[in-house]
């Protein structure tokens, strides 16, 4: 009977250990918006999102440019992660910011840029379970001109969330089939009838339970001379930061199992000694 109980406890601890090792960064919430006006403006509000205090967030904004426009900042308290021009220069710009949410829910997020434009699009994504010390494993971007935009491949860690963002001065075609593995996404198409400008922004997430290479991903456009920018961002799971060496949840399970096994062995040996 005791052997059966001991075997059951062992099986349960191993199961918990294996299950916990498959934890990943999780998608919590998303919000998006776009705006166009005849009069030039230099800021746009995106949001809000709901979640828990300490959630990790990424904000994406894109607007037009003639070559001199840049994103200045994002409020409240966003840090720049990346920005650059579509097509390697003018036509449109893409800005990306990161932060940990200081409260469970926020009231909105505002991106600002230097030169007034008449069209803008923005998306904010919120994640749970990201590493508090070093949430972004790696990020990289491509820019080009053509009807196919490709976000670069990146090596990623177990439990990460890979986010890909595409911005362009043109509408996307029906391109969802080009994005295998997409589980959550936000898409903006802004084509105002009263101005001769187009803009699009598309963001999607793919969870990676195992470490490996996040492959390149592409979307297509309706025009062959589209200026685009495409980025890949890998978000690290809590507990796996190289700057904070603590046991992962899987290691905690193994430690508990080892402790229980040791106590059971000590009890068995002591019982045999008393019986003798």
Per-residue pLDDT tens digits for 31-69: 999 898 889 999 999 988 889 999 999 999 999 998 899
DSSP three-state, residue 178: helix
Average pLDDT over the chain reads 80
> Above 70 in pLDDT, residue 113?
yes
- Residue 222: pLDDT band (50, 70, 90) is confident
Q: What is the reported pLDDT for 233?
A: 97
Are 155 and 203 part of one and the same domain?
Answer: yes
Rounded Cα gap, residues 95 and 47, in angstroms: 16
Are 41 and 94 part of one and the same domain?
Answer: yes
> Above 80 in pLDDT, residue 187?
no
Asked if 57 and 108 count as a contact pair (C-beta separation under 8 A), the reply is no
Tokens representing 246 are 């603590």
- Residue 4: pLDDT band (50, 70, 90) is very low
Are 82 and 126 part of one and the same domain?
Answer: yes
Are 257 and 128 part of one and the same domain?
Answer: no
Rounded Cα gap, residues 7 and 27, in angstroms: 37
Dihedral pair phi/psi, residue 272, rounded to 5°: -65, -35
Quick one: DSSP state of residue 77? T
Tokens representing 101 are 């949410």
Are 50 and 162 part of one and the same domain?
Answer: yes
Are 54 and 103 part of one and the same domain?
Answer: yes
Are 168 and 212 part of one and the same domain?
Answer: yes
Are 76 and 7 part of one and the same domain?
Answer: no
Q: What is the reported pLDDT for 102?
A: 85
Q: What is the reported pLDDT for 192?
A: 65
Q: What is the reported pLDDT for 21?
A: 43
Average pLDDT over residues 101-105: 82
pLDDT over 70 for what percent of the chain? 71
Are 64 and 188 part of one and the same domain?
Answer: yes
Listed range (64-73, 130-139, 217-226) with the worst mean pLDDT: 217-226
Are 131 and 203 part of one and the same domain?
Answer: yes
Average pLDDT over residues 219-229: 89
Are 175 and 211 part of one and the same domain?
Answer: yes
* CA dihedral (166, 152, 174, 227) positive or negative: positive
What are the tens digits of pLDDT across the range 245-262?
A: 344 444 545 555 556 555
Are 88 and 180 part of one and the same domain?
Answer: yes
| Element at 41 (helix H, strand E) | strand 26-46
Dihedral pair phi/psi, residue 238, rounded to 5°: -55, 135
Average pLDDT over residues 11-38: 69
What are the tens digits of pLDDT across the range 79-88?
A: 999 999 999 7
Side-chain-side CA neighbours of 72 within 13 Å: the count stands at 10
What distances in angstroms separate CA 24 from CA 28, 161, 177, 205, one per listed residue? 12, 7, 24, 12
Q: What is the reported pLDDT for 185?
A: 72
Query: Which range marks the domain in which residue 185 is found?
Result: 24-235
pTM: 0.78
Q: What is the reported pLDDT for 121?
A: 92
**Domains identified in the chain, total number:** 2
> Above 90 in pLDDT, residue 275?
no
């Amino acid at each position: 009977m005791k052997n059966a109980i001991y075997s059951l406890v062992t099986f349960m601890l191993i199961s918990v250990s294996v299950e916990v090792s498959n934890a990943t960064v999780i998608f919590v919430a998303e919000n998006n918006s776009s705006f166009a006006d005849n009069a030039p403006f230099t800021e746009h509000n995106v949001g809000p999102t709901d979640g828990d205090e300490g959630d990790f967030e990424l904000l994406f904004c894109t607007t037009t440019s003639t070559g001199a426009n840049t994103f200045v900042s994002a409020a409240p308290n966003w840090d720049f992660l990346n920005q650059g021009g579509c097509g390697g220069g003018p036509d449109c710009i893409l800005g990306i910011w990161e932060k940990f949410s200081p409260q469970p829910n926020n009231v909105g997020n505002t991106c600002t840029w230097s030169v007034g434009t008449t069209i803008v699009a923005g998306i904010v994504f919120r994640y749970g379970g990201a590493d508090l010390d070093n949430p972004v494993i790696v990020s990289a971007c491509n820019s080009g001109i053509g009807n196919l935009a490709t976000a670069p491949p990146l090596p990623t860690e177990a439990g990460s969330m890979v986010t890909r963002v595409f911005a362009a001065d043109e509408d996307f075609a029906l391109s969802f089939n080009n994005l295998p593995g997409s589980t959550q996404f936000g898409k903006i198409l802004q084509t105002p009838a009263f101005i001769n400008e187009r803009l699009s922004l598309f963001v999607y997430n793919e969870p990676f339970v195992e470490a490996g290479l996040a492959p390149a991903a592409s979307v297509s456009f309706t025009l062959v001379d589209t200026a685009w920018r495409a980025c890949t961002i890998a978000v690290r799971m809590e507990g796996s930061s190289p700057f904070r060496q603590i046991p992962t949840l899987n290691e905690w399970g193994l430690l508990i199992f080892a402790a229980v096994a040791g106590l059971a062995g000590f009890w068995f040996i002591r019982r045999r000694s008393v019986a003798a």
